[in-house]
Chains A and B, each alone.
Chain A
Amino acid sequence: MDARPRPTLAVWKFASCDGCQLSLLDCEDELLAVAGALDIASFAEASSTLRPGPYDLSLVEGSITTPQDAERIRAVRAASKRIITIGACATAGGIQALRNFVDVNDYIAVVYATPAYISTLATSTPISAHVKVDFALHGCPINKTQLLEVISALLAGRKPDIPNDSVCVACKRRGTPCVMVAQGTPCLGPVTQAGCGAICPAYGRGCYGCFGPAEAANTAALAAAWTALGAGRRSIHRAFRTFNAAAVPFREESDAHGDENHQG
């Protein structure tokens, strides 16, 4: 039995759906092994034992949308040797970053009868806009196999083996016929970061970009290909403005197809 202390792990939630931290509990076959290899010091969704830091590794889910959370993430950073951001909210601001394109007060008035009770920031921003991040794992949600790889790699002091090619490449590797060529279905696969396993085209639909922009994504060329397939400006605008709307290449491409009357 190795007597060295196990590395401590903390899991944090900011504005999010809980899905990315659930990915850890979804490792049904590996969960008890992970719990054996790591000392889970603070993971509120899974345990009532919440121990104070410092932590060797923090997984951070969610985006920063309130003044309190902007403070809290600094405390998390100070208590953590390494931070991995998990998912589109933490890495790009998430779907809630759609507020960044409007006046947030209009959003508050739509949902809440008493807006004065609500404390929120005008924008939803990624964790990296506030503190240094050691590794960003993309996806809405993240892929749990990639999560296990990143945790193992960082603890072993090596670079995580997370390919940064596109869904298009992953699709070809999987042997799925191209949905754009074969069915004329608009697809974001050529500009989207791989990691999901190219699921959507395998199910006969176009990729909807939930893993965010791939490296050196040529979004303008893809938008032109969509137009050739008959997609209108509004649908191109919407396609780039979803779960990674605030990621720069997607934001710029959606802006290029914007329509002041159609904020969505």
Chain B
Amino acid sequence: MDRARVFKSILWTISGLGAAALATRFLIGLGSIANMNDAVPWGIWKGFNIFPGIALAGGGFVMTAIIYIMGREEYHKYAKVSVLLAFLGYITAATALVTELGLPWFVWHPIIYWQHHSPLFEVSWCVMLYLTVLFLEFVPVPLEETSRFTKVRKFLTKYKIVLVFLGIMISTLHQSSLGSMWLITPEKLHPLWYTQLLPILFLLSAIAIGPIMLILAILVISRIYRRKTDNQTLARLGVLSSFMVLTYGLVRLIDIGANGKFAMIFDGSWQSAIFIVEMSLMVIIPLILMGIRKLRNSSSSLWVASLSAVIGLGLDRANIAGVMLSVDGPRYTPTIFEVLVSLSIISAAILVFLFCIERFKIWDSKWEDPREDKKSRPDFDRSSEVWLGTPRLAGRTVYTLIFVISLAVGFAIIPGKRIYSGGIQKVASQKSLGGDTLFIDGNRDNYGVNFDHKAHVIRDSSCVLCHHMNQPNDKQSGCYTCHLDMYQRTDAFKHDWHANPTGANISCTECHAVDQERLASTAKACDQCHKDLIPPGATITVDKYMAPSYTDAMHFLCVDCHKQKAVELADKSNLALCATCHTSEHTDHFVDGVTDKYKHPYFNHVVLPENRPTVEGH
């Protein structure tokens, strides 16, 4: 059986299954297929696609540096493959990023909204720039196929060295910045992985393993398309990068030793076991196989060494970006659909890679399909014993069929509803104060949260937690009477009104002592005049005069308590998730009771009403 066709069929199947999950994610929302939650917002797509994808694409800049700047001509035949590999690696990462961003249409924001304290700002700029550079580096290859755009192609080929320089510069910048991002997690990341040297380790490992990824890719495509590999050259490349692997391993081990964490490697915990596995895969096995002269030239040792190094690097990035982070709250296990999306992005990238290999002049000579030879026997479809046409036509027929069927299967197995968090119970709610269920709508846009008032009163009898302060001469004042702004701190005291003759008209000395500087901190507290302002037993200390924003007040009161309860009560793990309350799905009673605008959408992303009313006074 034809290797390429079997391999591609498998890839098309995975792509189809994942594409269904991907479509569901973009149509219905992240919660429909993903298991990520507020405690673990970075899931498998970060640890499996984005970080390893970018690290393994490091071969692009390393190889161009070796070939064009160090002038090692013997590797020149791998230049196009390495650039293509890097390009697809970055595309994979970018696709996964867009998939897992909550609001993917804001992905361009870092270009305009600069946040120069954040490593992510630097990373996003560099990744976007480097994607452009890689595109410009690769685009002459497909352009060779047409007679058009010759000027563009010649221009790009002529100034290739500029692109090479840019690529190296940008890559070294952001490969390390990806490590800098994790400097923020000294308490979360396991000590065997956390170090101040993370940026350097990220850069070193990308430089070390990038070329090894190229070796693996060349071995794979040679096997699929039955071409002979130049083992000598590959082994020499392996030796070159094994120096970098050695450097990386030494830096890492010395750093661990210098920080006094050496004993942790052998303390028998599962983390230490994974560390040993990771280091053996990434450093020790490749070093042994590449280091011993007798072993390195055989293709099986090249296979083992490159596979183990690549898997080791993937494991390292996955560990840092997820596995080894301690999480307080519900633990995260990816759903089958997240895994499918992850795999499908990779398989789609491999398909594009194979497409480029087949169609463009990426080898030293262009690849020819042996079945295209007019003298060869026609290739019959195994299942129907029908001749499906020329190889390209047959491929078109077979792969689209496989894709369509697996896409349909994907849609069939996705439940199509939210996977986690059953949401709130449906209860009749009313808008007015004092009801059993209250509708909390701070900014008066008719989208709010159903609050089960009755249940809270019975459970806690902690009325004063929410009703911690009243307006003068009032009981159970509405939250919005002090928390005046939806998003900003506001003045609940109104100093000028108190002092103004048209307002309260009280003299300064009523509140400010005569011989003191007149500051908010030295003035009299509100409840010294307004005796009924704070109900007895209120636990929240009132910050003088300034009220937090409405959202902050709500989140502080609800979320903090719910977080605590989520840990205490086994069956209440959903309480601290935003979507538990912020669902756009309203109860039927509620629809009748309030307004006819609640013809609700069925999906869980928040949809604002068509004619959003202007909110007065906010």
A and B are interacting partners: no
